[in-house]
Amino acid sequence: MSTLFSTIHPDELKMPVQNIQALIDSYHELRKSGVIRLGYDSEKQLCFLFKRGELINTYLVTPDKWEPLLPEQSSAWMLSAGDAYVRPLLLSSFGLLMTKLLIQTHSQSDTTSVPQNQLREYLEMIRNKPEATLLHLTWKNAAGAILFAPKADPYFNFISQNIVLDQTGSYKIFHEWEEPQCALTSYAPDLSVEAWQEYYLRSAFANLCERILIRFETLTGRSLVDSFVQLVSVFASRQNLDISITARKLADHEVFSSPQIATQNYRFLLGEMFQYFSAVIGPRLNTATVQEIVKNMPEQERQIIRTFELLPKGYFNE
């Protein structure tokens, strides 16, 4: 396990505890999303993850293990640990999920040292693998992570002293970075890890919603789907969720403190959706449609739907 920016840069200065507390308070007050990493001489790191000002997770990370801390524990630990090297970072919800994946996943393989001029080929090779792979790349002065998933654009974070990238798409910054050697660790999905569970819940929810929308549009036409899309915003805002549908694609800007909380929220939205669809196409056809869609989803997503009982009762039929 690792944090995205585990390296403490030589330019980082130690910050007194009261200033750290003020920084944390500013994340709350300004409703910021991102991570505050506190680094200590003991090689321990304390990571605070914020979503729109709300502290969703705190992790205590050492080179060989991690543990989640409750908010009161983390506050006490921070106060007792004293001054720390601080790296605050603003991240998107998916950037936060990537951070959680990096912290929580054990690598099955050792870290490989890859010459920078071979990195492009190396990344292309991993990108073409049929299963999802999370890579953690570190240089002396930068670090980054890329998530390659089948049928999805790569998502990456790249952090140096002056550059912070948190986005999907072209990751050429990685092979254009001018340092001779890159340390690369790869992580495979592990459904026993909470962060991966959340990742697959998120992916299953998006996949399910998009497939249902296509089917619903086929059955009812565009205008009813348009009015439904408006309702999704209403349902989501009622739950204080930043989830919407744009151009028939689900825009999920959420990250949750645990897969259980993610399930609760996704299940609520799906329940509202199914209630709407049932009112239009009838409960019988709606149930049959959802069952058919779930049957054709990737196995990992079906497994996560089954394990977390993501669908309301009666919709999962295996």
Smaller CB distance to other proteins: residue 30 or 279?
A: 279
Q: Exposure pattern of 20-40 as b/e (b: 16+ CB <10 Å)? A: beeebeebeeeebbbbbbbbb
Among 87, 146, 286, 305, binds other proteins (CB under 8 A): 286
Stretch that binds other proteins, among 2-10, 50-58, 83-91, 276-284 (CB under 8 A): 276-284
284 binding other proteins? (CB under 8 A) = yes
| Residue closer to other proteins (CB basis): 13 or 234 | 234
Choices 5-13, 78-86, 129-137, 279-287; region in contact with other proteins by CB under 8 A: 279-287
Q: What is each CA distance from 21 to 6, 34, 75, 89, 201, in whole angstroms?
A: 21, 15, 9, 15, 33
For the CB of residue 293, give the shortest distance to other proteins in the complex, in Å: 13
Tell the smallest beta-carbon distance from residue 56 to other proteins (Å): 31
* Shortest reach from residue 264's CB to other proteins, in Å: 21
CA-wise closest residue to 50 among 20, 81, 25: 25
- Which residue among 63, 71, 150, 283 contacts other proteins (CB under 8 A)? 283
Find out whether 38 and 11 touch, Cβ atoms under 8 Å. no
Structure tokens at 261: 């909380």
Closest approach of Cβ 289 to other proteins, in Å?
9
Closest approach of Cβ 231 to other proteins, in Å? Answer: 6
Residues of this chain, 202-261, that bind other proteins according to CB under 8 A: 217-224, 227-228, 230-231, 234
Comparison of 264 and 278: residue with beta carbon closer to other proteins:
278
**Total residues in contact with other proteins, by rule CB under 8 A:** 24
**Least separation, in Å, of the C-beta of 266 and other proteins?**
19
CB atoms within 10 A of CB 200: 24
Residue type, 136: H
CB of 206 to other proteins, least distance (A): 22
Examine residue 30 and tell whether it contacts other proteins (CB under 8 A).
no
Asked whether 57 and 100 are in contact (CB, 8 A), the reply is: yes
125-133, 160-168, 201-209, 274-282 -> range binding other proteins (CB under 8 A): 274-282
Query: Closest approach of Cβ 234 to other proteins, in Å?
Result: 7
With CB under 8 A as the contact rule, the residue among 196, 205, 276, 315 that binds other proteins is 276
Q: Write the CB contacts of 309 (distance below 8 Å, at least 6 apart in sequence).
A: 263, 267, 316
Near other proteins by CB under 8 A, which window of 68-76, 162-170, 261-269, 284-292?
284-292
Rg (CA), the chain: 21
- CB nearer to other proteins: give 79 or 279: 279
**Complex with other proteins: residue 63 or 221, whichever CB lies closer:** 221
Chain contacts with other proteins (rule: CB under 8 A) = 217-224, 227-228, 230-231, 234, 275-276, 278-286
